[in-house]
Structure 1
Amino acid sequence: MLLQPTYDPLQADVPAVHPFSPAVGAKRNLGRNCADPYEPDVDADLRAKERDTREHPDADYMSKMQQGHLSTSMRAELVLWMDAFARHLGGLPEGTLCRAVVYLDRVLSVRPVPAHDEALQLVAAAAVSLGAKYEQSASGRRLDAQVVEAFLGTTVHAVEEMEGELVMDLSCVMDGPTAYTFVEHFTRFFEREDEFLVRSLALRLVNLTLAFFGFVGRILPSAVAASALFLARQILGVQLSNDLEEVTGYKAVDLMGCICSLVELLPRKKL
């Protein structure tokens, strides 16, 4: 799910990105391929939800709520742990990790958590489970007891109890779109194989941002998604059937801060 980092975890607070801007992406043309009369409403609903302040983690929660006990490197390691936990559970819906990390940051914005592995990993595991349940609400699947024991040294019941606490911490507001949601939304009319490759790379770029605290609470999910798509198209050299500025509502020049931060996260070629 998550690209392995090529950075020193102690520098996980490096990327600087643009702050929230209600002007960017507010107007857009859905493009010639839109035949569904409800498409504008779907897009407007996603845009409105991502601007709901209840969905936003606090960009300063480490110094405020966590009072400096949690560092950016500790958070980065926790996100990588979540990735490993999700992969060992297996068969989780696409988008689970992205949503789980959003839940984690929102919870840490309102709940002080002791800065030790047991407490943090229990919250993180509950966030992964909640993210999976939201992304695939029809599934009645429970956590694998052996995986939970191996990763946490506790029971499925303990994780499920923590899930209930997290739902309350999140004020039951859990359906906000993530950057993953927006990549899927922006690419819903892709048809060619090379366009699917752009989408796949963009999703990997989105996942690469998850471990870096510099993206938390500082940029809208739609802007992260749009930046990933602009960069993926450039890397692969693909001419898309629809203009990305038209599809996303963003101009590349407005996203340069985020795009440059994404470039910094790319693996470096060894000389």
Structure 2
Amino acid sequence: MCSVAPFVLPGLACGAAPVLGVQPTTYAGGVPAAAWCGYGYDADISALLRGAVVRPSMPADLPMPSMEFLTLSRRHVDHGAGFRAMLHGIHSIHVPGRGLMASFPMDAHDDAAPTTPVAMLRAPRSYSDDAAEDDAAVTIKTPPPEKRPQQEQCGSEYDASIDATFRVMEKDPAERPSPDYLSDTQAGDMMMIDRATLIEKMHHFTRYYDLAPGTLHRAVSYVDRFLSARKMNGGERQLLLLGAAAVFAAAKYEDRKTTQRINADTVAAYVRCTRSEALDVERELVAALGYRLSGPTAYTFVDHFLRHAQDQEKEVSAAALVRALAHHLADMALLDYRCVALLPSAVAASAIVLARLVLGYYSTAPVAGYAIEELSECMEAIYDMHENLEAWPGCGPMMEDWELTTRLRYSLPHYSVLTR
């Protein structure tokens, strides 16, 4: 039989004498079992097993608190003293000295001004004799005003970091096309008109399937980089397949839902090739690019430079119109092979200058760190395309698309306005 029961049996008297002559169990040192937690487990269990009647517990057998605790007022001011007195009434708990408990204040805070509001409430009431007290106001600690502007400053810090990152990425040689790839890599087998014709078809492909904004710029960047690295063979059909695969890859980068609109079968049907041919060209394209597909484009920089335009223009609608026209002019700059040598940020800044000039917001102030004189080459190329719409493939369809989308027509002022 177990010498100690791990539970309290109902009806066993705490500290009671042995019942029916049963000898209580005695532990080492002569300490009776009844002295351990106040119960004689062996004696009472043996009595129960023989069918004997065990005397039920009496109120006098229960442990009572000390007189010091009973005489203590419930509204004693020192709550810590009342707590210590209650603990003294339980003999099995050792209460530390007053000095030790005082060294651990319950409402101390290391930070005088926490960032999270903290409510300092009065101690809970004891029973109903505190009802006469007036309700004290709750004090809320809030952060000091000097800590709040730090969160507002994060936007400008991120802004400068993003701009610096874009400027570094656009100058990375691994993501820049060769400015002379038509004469060097392609050895004269491909002309500027052939490239413009390909971009016109890529533009039609993106518009027909309503692909994500920025897809055309990224796809043209992929084509220029591919043609800078590898010689193109297979004629016009293979060049068209390259353009369609570039649009497909760029659209998937810009929008992960692209596959809900088009897939490899769509590309194959557009070029009139097999699905496996379309997939093979796409794999060859991304491999030639070194799987580096995230470089910023002129579309990226137009959005980046005009991100705060609504605070600078007179009306939000005017800022949106400047942005739309700048995107359109940047799209037209894609057709001109001379703009391949220019940085995307320079193309975007030139498009913004001309858009503001057309809409009456022209200023000679630098745009995105570029002086007007530094943008002359790109602006001259854009002017040249507007003056020779019939000679440049793609210029006419792009102009028609702009007029159909915005229901607006525009004309560039004379170039002498920029040279004043």
- TM-score by structure 2 length? 0.52
Which residue number in structure 2 is paired with residue 98 of structure 1? 217
1:87 aligned onto 2:207: yes
- State the Cα deviation string for residues 202-246 of structure 1 (Å, max 9, x = none): 100000011211111x11100000011011101110268xx962x
2:185–2:230 contact (8 Å) kept in structure 1 = yes
| Whole-angstrom CA distance in 2 between matches of 1:102 and 1:244 | 29
Distance 1:149 1:164, change over 3 A: closer
The 3-state SS of whatever aligns with 1:38 is: helix
Give 1:6-155 correspondences, 5 Å limit.
35-88=155-208, 90-114=209-233, 116-137=235-256, 139-141=258-260, 143-144=262-263, 147-155=266-274
Distance in 2 between residues matched to 1:42 and 1:137, nearest whole Å: 23
Partners in 1 of 2:386 and 2:233 — Cα distance?
32
2:185–2:228 contact (8 Å) kept in structure 1: yes
Distance 1:200 1:135, change over 3 A: same
Unaligned ranges ≥5, structure 2: 1-152, 311-315, 389-410, 412-420
Distance 2:154 2:318 in 1: 20
Counterpart-to-counterpart distance in 2, 1:115 and 1:225: 34
Count residues in correspondence: 232
> Distance between the aligned counterparts of 1:35 and 1:250, measured in 2?
23
Q: Distance in 1 between matches of 2:271 and 2:257?
A: 26
Gaps of 5+ in 1: 1-32
Normalised by the length of structure 1, the TM-score is 0.79
Is 1:238 equivalent to 2:357 in the alignment?
no
Q: 1:68 to 1:239 in 2, by over 3 A?
A: closer
1-structure distance, mates of 2:264, 2:283: 18
Identify the range of structure 1 (184-193 vs 153-162) with the bigger mean alpha-carbon deviation.
Answer: 153-162
Q: What does residue 165 of structure 1 align with?
A: 284
CA-based RMSD of the aligned residues comes to: 2.3
Counting aligned pairs with the same residue, the percent is 39
Contact 2:353 2:362 in 1 (8 A): no
Equivalent of 1:263 in 383, 393, 401 = 383
Give distance in 2, aligned partners of 1:244 and 1:182: 18
* Deviation string, structure 1 residues 149-200 (Cα, Å, up to 9, x no partner): 5421123443222111111100111111001100010011122111111111
Q: 1:199 aligns with which of 309, 323, 344?
A: 323
Conserved? CA contact 1:62–1:68, under 8 Å: yes
Q: Bigger CA drift: 95-104 or 61-70? A: 61-70
Task: For 1:149 and 1:168, locate their aligned partners in 2 and report how far apart those are by CA, in whole Å.
Answer: 20
> 1:93-133: CA deviations, max 9, x gaps?
10100110010010001111126121101111111011111
Q: Which has the higher contact order (CA 8 A, sep 6+)?
A: 1
SS in 1 for 2:253: helix
Post-superposition offset of 1:138: 5.7
Q: Does structure 1 retain, via aligned residues, the 8 Å contact 2:182–2:191? A: yes
Tell me by how many angstroms 1:257 deviates: 2.2
Instruction: Give the number of the structure whose alpha-carbon radius of gyration is greater.
Output: 2
* Partner residue in 2 for 1:23: none
Match of 1:213 in 2: 337
- In structure 1, what residue type is equivalent to 2:317? E
- Asked if 1:252 corresponds to 2:372, the answer is yes
Please report how far the alpha carbon of residue 252 of structure 1 lies from its aligned counterpart in structure 2 after TM superposition: 1.1
CA contact 1:144–1:156 (8 Å) conserved in 2 = no
How many angstroms apart in 2 are the aligned matches of 1:169 and 1:91? 27
What amino acid sits opposite 1:208 in the alignment? M
Map of 2:308 onto structure 1 = 189
Separation of aligned partners in 1, 2:327 and 2:263: 26
Further displaced range: 224-233 or 61-70: 61-70
